[in-house]
Structure 1
Amino acid sequence: MAWLLAASAWFVNWWPQAPAVAVGGLLILSTAHAGVLGVEFIATRRVSRSDSVARASAFECGRAWIAESWIAARVFCWQQPFRSRAFPDHLPQANGRRGVIFVHGFLCNRAFWNPWLEELRARDHAFVAVNLEPIWASIDHYVQTIESAVQRVTAQTGRAPVLICHSMGGLAARAWLRSSDPSRVHRIVTIGTPHHGTWLARFSHTANGRQMRIGSNWMRQAERDGVPAGLFTCWYSNCDNITFPVSTATLPGADNRLASGRGHVEMAFMPSLRHQTLDLLES
């Protein structure tokens, strides 16, 4: 809404006397987020150049930047503000199908998962997509939200669910797992999750942002606690503009899968990634 007000004010003010300035300013306001994303892609390529994972080419990063600029605008300016209840949680009568719990990442809400929810609704799989609130709380604060979702889906299906998590959501799932029995979940899938922190978090001063810094107390404790790596499938990208260096999105011993040349948000909207992940419901 702030962007719409700023763009409207600029356009109305300049159009009578300088139409070119009015249109130019509107274009700049419309593409400012792409500039910020561009800086992130430059940073991930530079910071990841000594990482153990193969470095992305300039062409791959350029393609990922263009795709991320479009998808991020669609997610953050349309889906999340206006479509967060387009696909309500679905808990059908027991039909033998395994259920799913979706856990979004930093500064997101359940609408992030809309394409996934639509597909699972068509398949008649039970699912719950949580909202992690408050948005700037400690990651540990979200444990009860996930616990409630696990209880709801398990009670309806009689089967251990799959947790599908994007970015910080994967860390919230690990925090939940720390105090739970691993047998209560069939699998945990993470997409672009900073399992070992992310370089970019050094600029965040929120509680959960500080926890995602490389070497933070929260990260060191997570390393000491460990995880049953065989329970995890970790999607990562060599063009991830939020979680980098690239290898921070992987876990030793886990089923680590590369989504080459994809941005942080774009990964979750790849049909191939979605279908391979949903195949794990039957495995």
Structure 2
Amino acid sequence: MIFIGLITLAAAVIFIFVHLTAYAVRWAVEGRWTQDERSLAEAPLSGALHIAAEILSSGAVLLLLVADLALIIRHLRWKRPPPAAASAPAPPPGDDSLLPGAGPPAPPGTARRPVVLLHGAGMRGLTMAPLARKLRSEGLEVHLFTYWPPGLRFEAYARQLSDYLESIRGETGGLEFDAVGHSMGGLILRRFIVVLNGPVKIRRLVTLGTPHGGSVLWRFAPPALGRQLRPGGEFLRRLDEAGLPPGVEATAISGGFDQLVVPNANARWEGATNHTIPDAGHTRLIFHRETLRIVLGALDQKTLAQEVSSH
């Protein structure tokens, strides 16, 4: 028991150290970018609180990843189909039927289109469950998509998304979806709407902390991804040149305390409606209540339109 406690403590220390290192790098690079070089130690108290909130959010996501692994193991071990159901089709890639709280679709008429959530790099669908639960409580029909395995190019993940949307179109009763993508998930959505937005379409999409302009920290990513996410690289340039197809509406939400999109300005998306949550880090965007407000407004334009007209 003591050994497990020591291992847990060591893991927590390493976890916090990695986050502080990422913020130190972000602080230095952002300072050079804005000609205001400072060290992380010079951050105000509010900055320390934002970092603490980000670390707690990342810890929650890590626990969700562990829960996701446990669900997969449990499914493989205990959910053997009976002989009569042996010929039944397997769940499609990215199916969220194993996730707690997946629940039935929202009642007809409570949402205009089903919403698909995409996680960030190194994550899985379950890490978007906190946001999914909040959206479902607002009457939206939500699906969690997992792209897998890590390290593939965006083209491969976009094809996985296309196959997934095709596989669930029967149960959703339509050919049109809205989508929310966290971090790299937003770029997968952009790749999809540029190349594969065919009979099954995404009409509205929201990105959370997506490096639309790349990030200098992605140089440490696997080569295939690192090249595509390099600031000024060909992949991002082609996405920008393609723009948004007619009929597609986009919103980009960035965190003012994002430690992974460096510089933070690279989370802005030219041609989209941009919002910044000043106190949100990269992972905290998933949990932030302001994120929920903006996402709901983007998926149902009446909310923000009423707010704008009242000012």
For the aligned pair, the TM-score class normalised by the smaller chain equals 0.7 to 0.9
- State how 1:150-189 maps to structure 2 within 5 Å: 150-151=165-166, 152-153=168-169, 156-158=172-174, 160-181=176-197, 184-189=201-206
Gap regions ≥5 residues in structure 2: 72-98, 302-311
Give the distance between the partners of 2:220 and 2:129, measured in 1 at CA: 29
The Cα of 1:192 is off from its aligned counterpart by 0.4
Instruction: Work out the CA distance in 2 between the residues paired with 1:93 and 1:116.
Output: 19
Question: In the alignment, residue 47 of structure 2 is paired with which amino acid?
Answer: C
Q: Which deviations, in whole Å up to 9, do the C-alpha atoms of 1:203-231 show, x marking residues without a partner?
A: 12242233212233322332333335972
Letter in structure 1 aligned against 2:233 = S
The TM-score, its normalising length taken from structure 1, stands at 0.81
CA spacing shift, 1:131–1:49, aligned 2, 3 Å: same
Give the Cα separation in 2 of the matches to 1:213 and 1:121: 35
Query: Which secondary structure state, in structure 1, belongs to the residue aligned with residue 281 of structure 2?
Result: coil
How far did 1:28 drift? 4.1
258 and 179 in structure 1: CA distance in 2 versus 1, 3 angstrom threshold: same
Distance 1:201 1:154 in 2: 38
Is 1:69–2:73 an aligned residue pair? no
Judge which range, 132-141 or 60-69, deviates more.
60-69
1:46 aligns to 2:28 (yes or no): yes
Residue 195 of structure 1 is aligned with which of 193, 212, 217?
A: 212
Change in CA separation of 1:266 and 1:181 when aligned onto 2, cut-off 3 Å: same
Q: 1:118 to 1:26 in 2, by over 3 A?
A: closer
Please report the TM-score for the alignment, with normalisation by the length of structure 2.
0.74
Kindly indicate whether residue 104 of structure 2 is the aligned counterpart of residue 118 of structure 1: no
Q: How many residues align?
A: 264
Contact 1:188-1:232 at 8 Å conserved across structures: yes
Alignment root-mean-square deviation, CA? 3.1
Aligned to 1:211: 228
One-letter amino acid matched to 1:133: W
Q: Secondary structure at the match of 2:102?
A: coil
Structure 1 residues 179 and 89: alpha-carbon distance in aligned structure 2, compared to 1, 3 A threshold: farther
Shift of 1:90: 4.3
The Cα of 1:157 is off from its aligned counterpart by 4.7
Task: State whether structure 2 residue 97 is matched by structure 1 residue 81.
Answer: no
The superposition leaves residues 94-149 of structure 1 with CA deviations (integer Å, 9 ceiling, x where unpaired) of 43522101011100011111122223333442222100111111111111222234
Deviation of 1:12 (Å): 3.9
Conservation of the 8 A alpha-carbon contact between 1:44 and 1:239: no
Which aligned segments of 4 or more residues in structure 1 are displaced greater than 6 angstroms? 54-57
Q: Which runs of 5+ in 1 are unaligned?
A: 1-7, 14-21
2:308 maps to what in 1?
Answer: none
Q: Which has the higher contact order (CA 8 A, sep 6+)?
A: 1
The Cα shift of 1:32 comes to 1.4
Percentage identity across aligned positions?
21
